[in-house]
Structure 1
Amino acid sequence: MALNIIGIDHIVLRTNNLSGLVSFYSDILNCPIERDRTEELGLIQLRAGHSLIDIIDISGELGREGGGAPCKPVNLDHFCLTVADATIEQISQHIKTHSQSPPRFEVRYGAGGYGPSIYIQDPDGNTVELKAAND
């Protein structure tokens, strides 16, 4: 079975300049705030068409988990791909056939709402989230 990727669900940007980044995406690029941050998480989610841009304050709970401040030239925590026409079990089996042990699925919020997803690593160590479109 080949995976049928239908789009990017969301991207996550880490920052030590939360207000500046939110202002840029919401005021300049017209991405409205969909979910405002909770103090403990330090997360703001903005709508970008069918996708979301998540901005994480490095001093919040999620930001502290990811390490220090972003550095140039890379400022990407992970990206999420929405997988069509597959259940979480089929995605998990697909990952196993490619010699990766997938972590357990967790329910996370993304552009399509709440749903199961997993995090895997690419060969360069980038984190890729796979989110089932049908679950």
Structure 2
Amino acid sequence: MAIPFAPVGIDHIVFLIDDMKRALAFYTDVLGCRPGYSYPGLGMEQVWFGSSLIVLWDVTHPGGTKAAPPVTGGRNVDHVCLATSPFDHDELRTHLDKHGVEIVQEAFHGGARGMGHSFYIHDPFGNKIEIKGPAEYPDGRQAT
């Protein structure tokens, strides 16, 4: 039987947080997200990262109680990879340092767009984020 839909891509991801003001500051000031949809009754704010949404759900808000992780559960996502335009690596290091964000790892490996440079960081709530530049060809050209 055929699957009744065609895959398009990732629509959004949801991060559980416990300080909305701090979360919004990180995602806008550090990662350059734009405001998205707002659900104040749920304690939820969404921010745009390019054409994808990052949902920030405050588990300390009364509307976020059903989002709270189970007591017996653990982490079930290792990281989220955010694709970016080309960037100067030293400028990114300086930007992250200015915001007090530690680079956990730098790597060059594959992703959906090909082989490229990645910087791994954590948001203020412990979520690991991979900032991944565009693919690069063996001769150093960047893929468009």
TM-score if structure 1 supplies the norm length?
Answer: 0.46
Higher relative contact order (CA 8 A, sep 6+): 1
Higher strand share: 1
TM-score if structure 2 supplies the norm length?
Answer: 0.44
**Higher Cα radius of gyration:** 2
